[in-house]
């Protein structure tokens, strides 16, 4: 393939490297694309070309054991890269980084090549991408629209196809809003799974490094290469290694109900979101309308409450000793902290705890949430006329996320009817990054939007059979715990996820046990006279398996169930003594068929 037209995705580059392409050639092409973009606002610092050519040559022959071998990437300029300056878009703050940030070091160890530092809203304060003393990056889709912040340069670099991925950060939505505005993927992981060592904080308790790519699998591959516990970061969390789930259908997805949807008059954006809801339903998921008002109240705390003081704490020396070095809007926002007191901070902490309690039932009402990434669009001119209110509106669906310790991924969907990019964000509880990314990957394929501003088409994702992850156990469900049935909530509340509709091997009989409600099935393995019985296979977190077992009543038990392909999983079985008074319903082939027959 001609390197000048090669899509810069991990899949294409890995294939090309395996076929003999040199990383030196890729770096040459990166710098050609930078020049072709003709946008001085993307990078604050670009490494000298000869330095990167030498780094590429030093990688040696292709090594598939290094998952990011030869992959060039860009870094938001509030994250340290050894030998490069860190400015946070404030020239007076600039310092020379002598060590790599923890995440950058992991990327280098995986074979990736950092080519430079990207522009941002100063000190990562803003969602618009125009709060910088440097030239403003041009939105990759439409230069009249704001590029989105604070990770503006990183998003544009990916959308223009200059690099396959770039690092951003996310406190209020800075890893998601620029993704929506530039038609790319923005992964905001569970807080603490990406170390903040070597990152200049905005709000240290709420910050995370984020990842921009053209495709969901690429974003998650970078996430897997960078996630890990860091003893040097007090906010690092020792969670299970992330993996990309292959989703089945049947998840319940909470969306803002009609009364609480906010589009600020953008009827095209409203139509785009409604179309995505229809797509998700067509994929087999169940939509749950929810009143998002409690979440909006939490979102208001981020800039109207004491968390502004946390931003002040991050740059206190700068704002006290050289306030004129700050961009005017940035100084105005963070400077409000000087009117706050310690008692204000505690009052807002209490208020957040109260609002979290009120929001908990809403979040628990669905397996995950789906929201518009942004409610509407704003032009560069709009921000010139009003530098504050458009920024607040862009954070409508993002500001509450880190305050609630949710993970999120912004995914491009079908282009809007007016040609602007469509985007939604899937949100899940902490640790469910793999689940929401798996659904996002399927949604991106279903919608098949163009990749960024490149004109490259999304290629089909290599199909994988749904399977339990390394920290999960596969379990067969034959009765009321299946999707849409009365006890399904018992398994979803424990983090269970649907994998597949399957059948047992032809060596079982199924009975409707006496008693109830709800009436329960009894699956028994027999030496002869058995047949295949329909069931569902789910994955359950290993650390929740004990809790699930405590709710299994006699005469049911968990044993080993053989499936029709010869494999075996854990599942519900019945003690023979429990069949007294039971009805043999084997000829119906499964519990759902029995319920349907009983309702007629």
Percent of the chain past pLDDT 70, that is, above it, reads: 99
DSSP code string of 15-74: HHHHTT--HHHHHHHHHHHHHHHT-TTSEEEE--HHHHHHHHHTT-S--TTSTTTT-EEE
Mean pLDDT of 527-549: 92
The token duo for 282 is 């067509």
Is residue 167 within 8 Å of 108, Cβ to Cβ?
A: no
DSSP, residue by residue, 180-235: HHHT-EEEEPPTTSS--TTB--SSTTT-EEEEEESSHHHHHHHHHHH----TT-TT
Q: Are strands 406-413 and 185-188 parallel, antiparallel or unpaired?
A: antiparallel
Residue 172 has pLDDT above 80, yes or no: yes
Summarize the confidence of residues 296-322 as an average pLDDT.
90
HSE, side-chain direction, 13 A CA sphere, residue 211: 30
% of the chain at pLDDT higher than 90:
80
- pLDDT tens digits, residue range 194-205? 999 999 999 999
Q: What is the pLDDT of residue 248?
A: 65
pLDDT score recorded for residue 327: 85
Mean pLDDT of the chain, nearest integer: 94
Q: Is 174 a catalytic residue?
A: yes
Query: What pLDDT, on the 0 to 100 scale, is given for residue 466?
Result: 74
Q: Please, which pLDDT band fits residue 553 given cuts at 50, 70 and 90? A: confident
Q: Residues 132, 150, 152, 272: which is the catalytic one?
A: 150
CA distance 364 to 366: 5
d(CA 521, CA 477): 10
CA distances from 557 to 392, 476, 487, 574 (A): 53, 12, 16, 6
Of the two residues 494 and 231, the one the predictor is more confident about is: 231
State residue 459's pLDDT score.
82
Q: What is the arithmetic mean of pLDDT over 54-82?
A: 97
Question: 166 vs 549, which has greater pLDDT?
Answer: 166
Q: Which of 185, 122, 98 is nearest to 449 (CA)?
A: 185
Structure confidence at residue 362 (pLDDT):
93
Residue 464 has pLDDT above 70, yes or no: no
124 against 599, higher pLDDT: 124
Q: How far apart are CA 385 and CA 337, in angstroms?
A: 24
- Residues 234/266, Cβ–Cβ less than 8 Å: no
Task: Determine contact, residues 570/559, Cβ cutoff 8 Å.
Answer: yes
Q: What is the pLDDT of residue 392?
A: 95
pLDDT at 131: 96
The answer to whether residues 149 and 174 touch, using CB atoms and an 8 Å cutoff, is yes
Q: Are 192 and 170 in contact (CB under 8 A)?
A: no
Q: Would the pLDDT of 1 be above 70?
A: no
What digits encode the pLDDT tens for the residues 377-422?
A: 999 999 999 999 999 999 999 999 999 999 999 999 999 999 999 9
**Among the listed ranges 144-148, 179-183, 321-325, 531-535, which one has the minimum average pLDDT value?**
321-325
Q: Is 356 considered catalytic here?
A: no
Provide the pLDDT for residue 117.
98
Of 25-34, 102-111, 499-508, the range with the lowest mean pLDDT is 499-508
Measured CA to CA, the distance from residue 533 to residue 527 in angstroms comes to 15
User: What is the structure's pLDDT at 587?
Assistant: 96
Q: Are 497 and 469 in contact (CB under 8 A)?
A: no
Query: Tens of pLDDT along 349-381?
Result: 999 999 999 999 999 999 899 999 999 999 999
Rounded average pLDDT over 252-264: 97
The per-residue pLDDT for range 420-437, each reduced to its tens digit, is 999 999 999 999 999 899
How much is the pLDDT for 519? 81
Mean pLDDT (whole number) for 278-303: 94
Which pLDDT band, with edges at 50, 70 and 90, does 550 fall under?
confident
Nearest to 452 by CA among 411, 424, 417: 411
On the question of pLDDT at 552 being above 80, the answer is yes
Q: How far from the centroid of its chain's Cα atoms is residue 174's Cα?
A: 13
- The secondary structure element, H or E, covering residue 289 is strand 286-290
User: Active-site residue 392, yes or no?
Assistant: no
Cβ atoms of 212 and 151 within 8 Å: the answer is: yes
The arithmetic mean of pLDDT across residues 132-158, rounded, is: 97
The per-residue pLDDT for 469 is 75
pLDDT beyond 80 at 493: yes
Q: Is the pLDDT of residue 177 over 80?
A: yes
pLDDT at 287: 96
> Which one from 76, 108, 117, 188 is the annotated catalytic residue?
76
Mean pLDDT along residues 2-6: 93
- Between the CA of residue 431 and those of 173, 244, 480, 511, 585, what are the distances in Å? 18, 12, 27, 38, 40
Phi, psi of 505 (to 5 degrees): -65, 160
- Core vs surface per residue 125-135: b (16+ CB within 10 A) or e: bbbbbbbbbbe
Q: Choosing from 132, 151, 154, 174, which is the catalytic residue?
A: 174
135: pLDDT strictly greater than 80: yes
Q: CB within 8 A of 148, min separation 6: which ones?
A: 127, 128, 129, 139, 155, 177, 178, 179, 180, 181, 182, 394
Give the list of residues 6+ apart from residue 441 with CB closer than 8 angstroms, or none. 215, 216, 217, 220, 244, 461
Pick from 40-44, 265-269, 543-547: least confident: 543-547
Measured distance CA(170)–CA(180) in Å, rounded: 14
Which value, to the nearest 10 degrees, does the dihedral of the CA atoms of residues 498, 500, 503, 505 take?
-100
Name the nearest CA neighbour of 285 among 249, 254, 256, 255.
249
How many angstroms separate the CA atoms of 490 and 475, rounded? Answer: 14
């Amino acid at each position: 393939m001609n390197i000048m037209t090669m899509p810069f995705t991990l899949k294409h580059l890995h294939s090309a490297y395996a076929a003999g392409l040199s990383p030196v050639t890729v770096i040459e092409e990166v710098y050609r694309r930078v020049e072709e973009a003709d946008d001085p606002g993307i990078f604050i610092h670009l490494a000298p070309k000869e330095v990167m050519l030498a780094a590429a040559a030093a990688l040696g022959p292709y090594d598939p054991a290094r998952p990011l071998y030869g992959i060039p990437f860009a870094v938001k300029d509030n994250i340290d890269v050894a030998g490069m300056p860190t400015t946070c878009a404030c020239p007076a703050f600039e310092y020379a980084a002598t060590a790599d940030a923890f995440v950058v070091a992991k990327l280098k160890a995986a074979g990736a090549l950092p080519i430079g530092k990207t522009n941002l809203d100063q000190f990562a304060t803003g969602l618009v991408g125009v709060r910088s003393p440097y030239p403003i990056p041009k939105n990759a889709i439409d230069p009249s629209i704001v590029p989105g912040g604070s990770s503006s340069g990183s998003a544009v670099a990916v959308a223009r196809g200059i690099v396959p991925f770039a690092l951003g950060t996310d406190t209020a939505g800075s890893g998601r809003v620029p993704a929506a505005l530039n038609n790319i993927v923005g992964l905001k992981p569970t807080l603490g799974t990406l170390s903040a060592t070597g990152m200049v904080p905005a709000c240290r308790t709420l910050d995370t490094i984020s990842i921009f790519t053209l495709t969901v699998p690429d974003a998650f591959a970078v996430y897997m290469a960078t996630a890990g516990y860091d003893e040097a970061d007090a906010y690092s969390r020792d969670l299970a290694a992330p993996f990309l789930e292959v989703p089945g259908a049947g998840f319940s997805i909470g969306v803002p109900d009609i009364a609480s949807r906010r589009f600020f008059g953008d009827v095209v954006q409203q139509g785009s979101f409604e179309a995505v809801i229809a797509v998700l339903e067509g994929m087999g998921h169940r939509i749950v309308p929810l009143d998002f008002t409690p979440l909006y109240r939490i979102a208001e705390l981020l800039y109207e409450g004491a968390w502004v003081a946390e931003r002040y704490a991050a740059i206190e020396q700068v704002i006290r000793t050289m306030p004129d070095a700050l961009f005017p809007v940035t100084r105005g926002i963070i400077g409000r902290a000087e009117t706050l007191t310690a008692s204000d901070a505690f009052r807002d902490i209490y208020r957040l705890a109260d609002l979290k309690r009120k929001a908990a039932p809403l979040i628990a009402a669905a397996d995950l949430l789906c929201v518009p990434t942004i409610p509407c669009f704003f032009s560069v001119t709009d921000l010139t006329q009003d530098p504050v209110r458009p920024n607040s509106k862009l954070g409508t669906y993002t500001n509450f996320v880190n305050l609630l310790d949710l993970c999120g991924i912004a995914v491009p969907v079908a282009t809007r009817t007016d040609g602007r990019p469509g985007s939604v964000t899937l949100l899940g509880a902490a640790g469910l990054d793999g689940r929401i990314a798996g659904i996002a990957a399927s949604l991106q394929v279903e919608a098949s939007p163009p990749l960024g501003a490149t004109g490259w088409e999304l290629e089909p994702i290599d199909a994988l059979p749904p399977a339990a992850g390394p920290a999960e156990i596969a379990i067969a469900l034959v009765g009321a715990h299946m999707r849409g049935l009365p006890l399904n909530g018992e398994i979803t509340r424990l983090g269970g996820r649907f994998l597949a509709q399957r059948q047992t091997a032809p060596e079982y009989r199924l009975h409707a046990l006496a008693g109830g409600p709800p009436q329960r099935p009894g699956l028994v393995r027999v030496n002869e006279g058995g047949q295949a019985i329909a069931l569902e296979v789910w994955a359950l977190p290993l650390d929740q398996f004990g809790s699930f077992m405590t709710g299994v009543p006699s005469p049911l038990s968990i044993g080993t169930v053989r499936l029709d392909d010869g494999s075996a999983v854990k599942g519900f079985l019945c003690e023979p003594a429990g069949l007294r008074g039971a009805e043999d319903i084997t000829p119906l082939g499964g519990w759902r068929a029995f319920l349907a027959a009983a309702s007629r």
